[in-house]
Protein backbone atom coordinates (compact mmCIF):
# COMPACT_ATOMS: atom_id res chain seq x y z
CA UNK A 1 0.00 0.00 0.00
CA UNK A 2 1.53 3.25 -1.03
CA UNK A 3 1.44 6.42 0.95
CA UNK A 4 -1.35 7.98 -1.09
CA UNK A 5 -3.72 5.02 -0.57
CA UNK A 6 -2.92 5.04 3.18
CA UNK A 7 -3.82 8.71 3.44
CA UNK A 8 -7.06 8.18 1.49
CA UNK A 9 -8.11 5.33 3.83
CA UNK A 10 -7.25 7.40 6.90
CA UNK A 11 -9.38 10.32 5.67
CA UNK A 12 -12.26 7.94 4.88
CA UNK A 13 -12.17 6.29 8.36
CA UNK A 14 -11.87 9.68 10.03
CA UNK A 15 -14.84 10.93 8.02
CA UNK A 16 -16.96 7.94 8.99
CA UNK A 17 -16.01 8.45 12.66
CA UNK A 18 -16.96 12.13 12.49
CA UNK A 19 -20.33 11.32 10.89
CA UNK A 20 -21.00 8.61 13.48
CA UNK A 21 -19.96 11.02 16.23
CA UNK A 22 -22.42 13.67 15.03
CA UNK A 23 -25.20 11.11 14.65
CA UNK A 24 -24.44 9.72 18.09
CA UNK A 25 -24.60 13.20 19.55
CA UNK A 26 -27.89 13.85 17.80
CA UNK A 27 -29.31 10.57 18.95
CA UNK A 28 -28.29 11.35 22.52
CA UNK A 29 -29.77 14.85 22.41
CA UNK A 30 -33.37 13.92 23.38
CA UNK A 31 -32.06 11.97 26.32
CA UNK A 32 -30.26 15.11 27.54
CA UNK A 33 -33.33 17.33 26.92
CA UNK A 34 -35.40 15.08 29.11
CA UNK A 35 -33.14 15.87 32.00
CA UNK A 36 -33.85 19.61 31.77
CA UNK A 37 -36.54 20.87 34.12
CA UNK A 38 -37.76 24.11 32.52
CA UNK A 39 -39.63 25.21 35.62
CA UNK A 40 -36.53 24.93 37.75
CA UNK A 41 -34.37 26.66 35.11
CA UNK A 42 -36.78 29.55 34.43
CA UNK A 43 -36.64 32.77 36.43
CA UNK A 44 -39.69 32.69 38.68
CA UNK A 45 -41.87 35.75 39.25
CA UNK A 46 -41.08 35.51 42.95
CA UNK A 47 -37.35 35.67 42.34
CA UNK A 48 -37.85 38.74 40.13
CA UNK A 49 -39.86 40.39 42.87
CA UNK A 50 -37.18 39.54 45.42
CA UNK A 51 -34.39 40.84 43.18
CA UNK A 52 -36.01 44.25 42.78
CA UNK A 53 -36.15 47.06 45.27
CA UNK A 54 -39.49 48.85 45.78
CA UNK A 55 -38.57 51.69 43.41
CA UNK A 56 -37.22 49.45 40.60
CA UNK A 57 -39.19 47.75 37.87
CA UNK A 58 -38.95 45.32 34.98
CA UNK A 59 -40.09 47.24 31.90
CA UNK A 60 -40.74 46.44 28.27
CA UNK A 61 -40.89 48.91 25.41
CA UNK A 62 -43.90 50.84 24.09
CA UNK A 63 -44.32 53.17 21.14
CA UNK A 64 -47.31 55.07 22.59
CA UNK A 65 -46.81 58.28 24.61
CA UNK A 66 -47.81 56.57 27.85
CA UNK A 67 -44.40 55.26 28.90
CA UNK A 68 -45.77 54.13 32.25
CA UNK A 69 -47.61 51.37 30.42
CA UNK A 70 -44.26 49.68 29.61
CA UNK A 71 -43.93 48.61 33.26
CA UNK A 72 -44.26 44.86 33.76
CA UNK A 73 -43.26 44.15 37.33
CA UNK A 74 -42.75 46.70 40.09
CA UNK A 75 -42.84 45.37 43.65
CA UNK A 76 -43.45 48.89 44.98
CA UNK A 77 -46.86 48.85 43.29
CA UNK A 78 -48.07 45.97 45.41
CA UNK A 79 -47.35 47.82 48.64
CA UNK A 80 -48.78 51.02 47.10
CA UNK A 81 -51.96 49.20 46.14
CA UNK A 82 -52.34 47.93 49.71
CA UNK A 83 -51.88 51.40 51.22
CA UNK A 84 -54.13 53.07 48.68
CA UNK A 85 -56.87 50.51 48.76
CA UNK A 86 -57.08 50.26 52.53
CA UNK A 87 -57.03 54.07 53.02
CA UNK A 88 -59.70 54.72 50.40
CA UNK A 89 -61.79 51.74 51.51
CA UNK A 90 -61.86 52.85 55.14
CA UNK A 91 -62.65 56.47 54.21
CA UNK A 92 -65.39 55.43 51.78
CA UNK A 93 -67.09 53.25 54.38
CA UNK A 94 -66.76 56.06 56.95
CA UNK A 95 -68.13 58.58 54.42
CA UNK A 96 -71.26 56.63 53.53
CA UNK A 97 -72.01 54.76 56.76
CA UNK A 98 -70.92 57.77 58.86
CA UNK A 99 -73.33 60.06 57.01
CA UNK A 100 -76.20 57.60 57.39
CA UNK A 101 -75.54 57.21 61.13
CA UNK A 102 -75.24 60.99 61.70
CA UNK A 103 -78.42 61.69 59.71
CA UNK A 104 -80.40 58.96 61.44
CA UNK A 105 -79.32 60.43 64.80
CA UNK A 106 -80.25 63.93 63.60
CA UNK A 107 -83.65 62.73 62.41
CA UNK A 108 -84.36 60.93 65.70
CA UNK A 109 -83.49 64.05 67.73
CA UNK A 110 -84.84 66.85 65.54
CA UNK A 111 -87.33 65.08 63.29
CA UNK A 112 -88.33 66.51 59.91
CA UNK A 113 -87.82 70.29 59.79
CA UNK A 114 -91.27 71.75 59.16
CA UNK A 115 -92.42 75.19 58.05
CA UNK A 116 -93.30 76.64 61.50
CA UNK A 117 -95.71 79.25 60.09
CA UNK A 118 -97.39 76.53 57.93
CA UNK A 119 -97.44 76.52 54.14
CA UNK A 120 -99.04 79.67 52.74
CA UNK A 121 -100.05 78.31 49.36
CA UNK A 122 -98.30 81.28 47.73
CA UNK A 123 -95.35 80.35 45.53
CA UNK A 124 -92.21 82.31 44.71
CA UNK A 125 -89.71 81.49 41.95
CA UNK A 126 -86.44 80.34 43.52
CA UNK A 127 -84.47 78.68 40.71
CA UNK A 128 -84.76 79.23 36.95
CA UNK A 129 -84.78 76.34 34.47
CA UNK A 130 -81.09 76.95 33.72
CA UNK A 131 -80.19 76.75 37.42
CA UNK A 132 -82.19 73.55 37.82
CA UNK A 133 -80.66 72.01 34.70
CA UNK A 134 -77.16 72.79 35.98
CA UNK A 135 -78.02 71.31 39.39
CA UNK A 136 -79.50 68.07 38.05
CA UNK A 137 -76.73 67.57 35.50
CA UNK A 138 -74.18 67.86 38.28
CA UNK A 139 -76.26 65.90 40.82
CA UNK A 140 -77.29 63.05 38.49
CA UNK A 141 -73.78 62.54 37.20
CA UNK A 142 -72.29 62.77 40.70
CA UNK A 143 -74.60 60.01 41.92
CA UNK A 144 -73.62 57.73 39.01
CA UNK A 145 -69.93 58.49 39.63
CA UNK A 146 -70.24 57.91 43.37
CA UNK A 147 -72.00 54.54 42.97
CA UNK A 148 -69.69 53.25 40.23
CA UNK A 149 -66.65 54.56 42.12
CA UNK A 150 -67.75 52.84 45.32
CA UNK A 151 -68.13 49.62 43.34
CA UNK A 152 -64.52 49.94 42.20
CA UNK A 153 -63.31 50.36 45.76
CA UNK A 154 -65.65 48.10 47.73
CA UNK A 155 -67.40 45.96 45.11
CA UNK A 156 -65.16 42.91 45.34
CA UNK A 157 -65.60 42.58 49.07
CA UNK A 158 -69.16 43.86 49.45
CA UNK A 159 -71.07 43.37 46.19
CA UNK A 160 -69.50 40.25 44.66
CA UNK A 161 -70.50 37.87 47.50
CA UNK A 162 -74.22 38.59 47.12
CA UNK A 163 -74.44 39.26 43.36
CA UNK A 164 -72.25 36.40 42.16
CA UNK A 165 -69.42 36.51 39.63
CA UNK A 166 -71.42 36.86 36.40
CA UNK A 167 -73.66 39.73 37.49
CA UNK A 168 -70.85 41.45 39.38
CA UNK A 169 -68.47 41.38 36.42
CA UNK A 170 -71.18 42.72 34.10
CA UNK A 171 -72.06 45.66 36.36
CA UNK A 172 -68.37 46.33 37.06
CA UNK A 173 -67.42 46.47 33.38
CA UNK A 174 -70.33 48.80 32.55
CA UNK A 175 -69.76 50.74 35.76
CA UNK A 176 -66.14 51.41 34.84
CA UNK A 177 -67.14 52.60 31.36
CA UNK A 178 -69.87 54.82 32.87
CA UNK A 179 -67.38 56.21 35.41
CA UNK A 180 -64.97 57.22 32.63
CA UNK A 181 -67.61 58.91 30.45
CA UNK A 182 -70.09 60.39 32.97
CA UNK A 183 -67.17 62.34 34.46
CA UNK A 184 -67.45 64.75 31.50
CA UNK A 185 -71.13 65.45 32.22
CA UNK A 186 -70.22 66.12 35.85
CA UNK A 187 -67.56 68.62 34.80
CA UNK A 188 -70.06 70.45 32.60
CA UNK A 189 -72.66 70.55 35.41
CA UNK A 190 -69.99 71.75 37.83
CA UNK A 191 -68.91 74.60 35.55
CA UNK A 192 -72.54 75.63 34.91
CA UNK A 193 -73.46 75.57 38.63
CA UNK A 194 -70.36 77.57 39.44
CA UNK A 195 -71.25 80.18 36.83
CA UNK A 196 -74.90 80.60 37.92
CA UNK A 197 -74.31 80.57 41.70
CA UNK A 198 -70.88 82.03 42.44
CA UNK A 199 -72.28 85.55 42.96
CA UNK A 200 -74.58 84.28 45.77
CA UNK A 201 -71.89 82.32 47.56
CA UNK A 202 -69.37 84.93 48.63
CA UNK A 203 -69.19 84.72 52.45
CA UNK A 204 -70.52 87.83 54.25
CA UNK A 205 -71.35 88.97 57.78
CA UNK A 206 -74.90 87.56 57.69
CA UNK A 207 -73.32 84.10 57.64
CA UNK A 208 -71.78 84.58 61.11
CA UNK A 209 -75.21 85.03 62.74
CA UNK A 210 -76.58 82.07 60.81
CA UNK A 211 -73.75 79.85 62.09
CA UNK A 212 -74.08 81.22 65.65
CA UNK A 213 -77.75 80.18 65.66
CA UNK A 214 -76.96 76.73 64.22
CA UNK A 215 -78.79 77.73 61.07
CA UNK A 216 -82.06 77.26 62.93
CA UNK A 217 -81.67 73.58 62.14
CA UNK A 218 -81.16 72.45 65.71
CA UNK A 219 -84.14 74.16 67.39
CA UNK A 220 -87.74 74.66 66.33
CA UNK A 221 -88.86 78.25 65.77
CA UNK A 222 -85.34 79.68 65.25
CA UNK A 223 -84.91 81.35 61.84
CA UNK A 224 -81.70 83.34 61.40
CA UNK A 225 -81.80 85.72 58.41
CA UNK A 226 -80.19 84.58 55.16
CA UNK A 227 -79.85 85.76 51.58
CA UNK A 228 -80.37 83.41 48.60
CA UNK A 229 -77.89 80.94 50.08
CA UNK A 230 -77.26 80.59 53.82
CA UNK A 231 -73.86 79.73 55.34
CA UNK A 232 -74.61 75.99 55.31
CA UNK A 233 -75.42 76.11 51.60
CA UNK A 234 -72.27 78.11 50.94
CA UNK A 235 -70.33 75.26 52.55
CA UNK A 236 -72.11 72.84 50.19
CA UNK A 237 -71.41 75.09 47.20
CA UNK A 238 -67.69 75.49 47.95
CA UNK A 239 -67.23 71.83 48.89
CA UNK A 240 -68.84 70.83 45.60
CA UNK A 241 -66.88 73.39 43.61
CA UNK A 242 -63.45 72.72 45.12
CA UNK A 243 -63.98 69.01 45.71
CA UNK A 244 -65.48 68.63 42.23
CA UNK A 245 -62.54 70.50 40.68
CA UNK A 246 -60.08 68.24 42.55
CA UNK A 247 -61.98 65.13 41.43
CA UNK A 248 -62.10 66.39 37.84
CA UNK A 249 -58.38 67.20 37.73
CA UNK A 250 -57.20 63.96 39.33
CA UNK A 251 -59.70 61.93 37.28
CA UNK A 252 -58.45 63.58 34.08
CA UNK A 253 -54.86 62.69 34.99
CA UNK A 254 -55.84 59.09 35.60
CA UNK A 255 -57.60 58.92 32.24
CA UNK A 256 -54.53 60.33 30.49
CA UNK A 257 -51.52 59.00 32.42
CA UNK A 258 -49.09 60.35 29.81
CA UNK A 259 -49.93 63.83 31.14
CA UNK A 260 -49.63 62.85 34.79
CA UNK A 261 -45.83 63.05 35.10
CA UNK A 262 -44.07 60.30 37.02
CA UNK A 263 -45.70 57.18 38.34
CA UNK A 264 -45.49 58.62 41.86
CA UNK A 265 -47.49 61.65 40.67
CA UNK A 266 -50.11 59.36 39.15
CA UNK A 267 -50.40 57.41 42.40
CA UNK A 268 -50.73 60.67 44.34
CA UNK A 269 -53.62 61.73 42.08
CA UNK A 270 -55.25 58.35 42.59
CA UNK A 271 -55.05 58.70 46.37
CA UNK A 272 -56.39 62.28 46.34
CA UNK A 273 -59.25 61.19 44.03
CA UNK A 274 -60.35 58.50 46.48
CA UNK A 275 -60.04 60.68 49.59
CA UNK A 276 -61.92 63.66 48.10
CA UNK A 277 -64.65 61.36 46.75
CA UNK A 278 -65.18 59.84 50.20
CA UNK A 279 -65.31 63.23 51.99
CA UNK A 280 -67.59 64.78 49.35
CA UNK A 281 -69.91 61.77 49.50
CA UNK A 282 -70.39 62.38 53.23
CA UNK A 283 -71.27 66.04 52.61
CA UNK A 284 -73.55 65.31 49.66
CA UNK A 285 -75.52 62.59 51.46
CA UNK A 286 -76.27 65.17 54.18
CA UNK A 287 -77.25 67.68 51.47
CA UNK A 288 -79.56 65.20 49.75
CA UNK A 289 -81.28 64.46 53.08
CA UNK A 290 -81.97 68.15 53.86
CA UNK A 291 -82.95 68.86 50.25
CA UNK A 292 -85.52 66.05 50.19
CA UNK A 293 -87.07 64.18 53.13
CA UNK A 294 -85.34 66.17 55.89
CA UNK A 295 -87.02 69.54 55.35
CA UNK A 296 -90.61 70.33 54.40
CA UNK A 297 -90.88 72.36 51.20
CA UNK A 298 -87.17 72.25 50.27
CA UNK A 299 -87.32 69.88 47.29
CA UNK A 300 -89.71 72.16 45.37
CA UNK A 301 -86.84 74.58 44.80
CA UNK A 302 -85.12 72.03 42.56
CA UNK A 303 -88.34 70.31 41.45
CA UNK A 304 -90.66 72.94 40.01
CA UNK A 305 -88.32 75.82 40.84
CA UNK A 306 -90.99 77.53 42.97
CA UNK A 307 -91.11 77.41 46.78
CA UNK A 308 -93.74 78.33 49.34
CA UNK A 309 -93.50 81.95 50.46
CA UNK A 310 -93.53 81.04 54.17
CA UNK A 311 -90.74 78.49 53.63
CA UNK A 312 -88.74 81.18 51.86
CA UNK A 313 -89.37 83.74 54.63
CA UNK A 314 -88.25 81.30 57.33
CA UNK A 315 -85.08 80.13 55.58
CA UNK A 316 -84.11 83.03 53.28
CA UNK A 317 -85.80 86.15 54.67
CA UNK A 318 -83.29 88.65 53.20
CA UNK A 319 -83.58 87.04 49.76
CA UNK A 320 -87.40 87.32 49.84
CA UNK A 321 -87.05 91.02 50.69
CA UNK A 322 -84.61 91.48 47.81
CA UNK A 323 -86.92 89.71 45.34
CA UNK A 324 -89.95 91.73 46.46
CA UNK A 325 -87.99 95.00 46.30
CA UNK A 326 -86.80 94.10 42.80
CA UNK A 327 -90.34 93.37 41.68
CA UNK A 328 -91.57 96.60 43.23
CA UNK A 329 -88.86 98.58 41.45
CA UNK A 330 -89.76 96.91 38.14
CA UNK A 331 -93.47 97.66 38.61
CA UNK A 332 -92.79 101.16 39.93
CA UNK A 333 -95.09 100.44 42.90
CA UNK A 334 -95.16 98.49 46.19
CA UNK A 335 -94.05 94.86 46.26
CA UNK A 336 -96.55 92.65 44.54
CA UNK A 337 -97.61 89.38 46.13
CA UNK A 338 -96.11 86.35 44.39
CA UNK A 339 -98.69 84.33 42.47
CA UNK A 340 -100.74 81.82 44.48
CA UNK A 341 -100.36 78.15 43.63
CA UNK A 342 -103.27 76.47 41.89
In the complex, least distance from residue 302 CB atom to ligand HEM, rounded to whole angstroms: 4
Question: Among 83-91, 111-119, 291-299, 325-333, which window interacts with ligand HEM (CB under 6 A)?
Answer: 291-299
Buried b (16+ CB within 10 A) or exposed e, 195-211: ebbeeebeeeeebeebe
In the complex, least distance from residue 237 CB atom to ligand HEM, rounded to whole angstroms: 5
Strand partners, 308: 123
- Residue 339 CA to residue 326 CA, distance in Å, equals 15
In the complex, least distance from residue 182 CB atom to ligand HEM, rounded to whole angstroms: 12
Q: Is 301 in the site for ligand HEM (CB under 6 A)?
A: yes
In the complex, least distance from residue 64 CB atom to ligand HEM, rounded to whole angstroms: 34
Question: Among 172-180, 215-223, 251-259, 287-295, which window interacts with ligand HEM (CB under 6 A)?
Answer: 287-295
Tell which one of 260, 284, 309, 323 touches ligand HEM (CB under 6 A): 284
Q: Is 229 in the site for ligand HEM (CB under 6 A)?
A: yes
Q: Is 123 in the site for ligand HEM (CB under 6 A)?
A: no
Query: 3-class DSSP state for residue 152?
Result: helix
In the complex, least distance from residue 143 CB atom to ligand HEM, rounded to whole angstroms: 6
Q: Is 135 in the site for ligand HEM (CB under 6 A)?
A: yes
Sign of CA dihedral 166, 170, 171, 176: positive
Tell which one of 88, 124, 137, 138 touches ligand HEM (CB under 6 A): 138
Whole-angstrom Cα Rg for the chain: 35
How many CA atoms, within 13 angstroms, populate the side-chain half-sphere of residue 58? 12
What is the total residue count of the chain?
342
CB-based contacts of 82-89 (< 8 A; 24+ apart in sequence) = 84/267, 84/270, 84/271, 84/274, 85/153, 87/271, 87/274, 87/275, 88/153, 88/271, 88/274, 88/275, 88/278, 89/153, 89/154, 89/157
Q: Is 192 in the site for ligand HEM (CB under 6 A)?
A: no
In the complex, least distance from residue 342 CB atom to ligand HEM, rounded to whole angstroms: 21
Distances (CA, A) of 285 to 60, 236, 291: 45, 11, 10
Q: Is 128 in the site for ligand HEM (CB under 6 A)?
A: no
Residue 111 CB contacts under 8 Å (≥ 6 apart), including other chains: none
In the complex, least distance from residue 299 CB atom to ligand HEM, rounded to whole angstroms: 5
Q: What x-and-dash track marks residues 194-223 binding ligand HEM by CB under 6 A?
A: ------------------------------
Tell which one of 278, 298, 309, 323 touches ligand HEM (CB under 6 A): 298
Most distant CA pair in the chain, distance: 145
- Residue 146 CA to residue 150 CA, distance in Å, equals 6
Which residues contribute to the site for ligand HEM (CB under 6 A)? 126, 135, 138-139, 142-143, 193, 229, 233, 236-237, 240, 284, 287-288, 291-292, 298-299, 301-302
Amino acid sequence: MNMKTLTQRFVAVFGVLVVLGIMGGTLHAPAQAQQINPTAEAVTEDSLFEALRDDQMVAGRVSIPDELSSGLIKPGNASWADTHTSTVRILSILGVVGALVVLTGFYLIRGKIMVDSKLSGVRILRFTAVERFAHWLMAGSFIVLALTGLNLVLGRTMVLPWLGETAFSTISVWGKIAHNYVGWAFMLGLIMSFAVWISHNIPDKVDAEWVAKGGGLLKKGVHPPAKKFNAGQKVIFWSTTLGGAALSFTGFMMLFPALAGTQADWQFYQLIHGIVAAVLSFIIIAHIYIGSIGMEGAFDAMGTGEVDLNWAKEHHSLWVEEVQKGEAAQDGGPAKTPHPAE
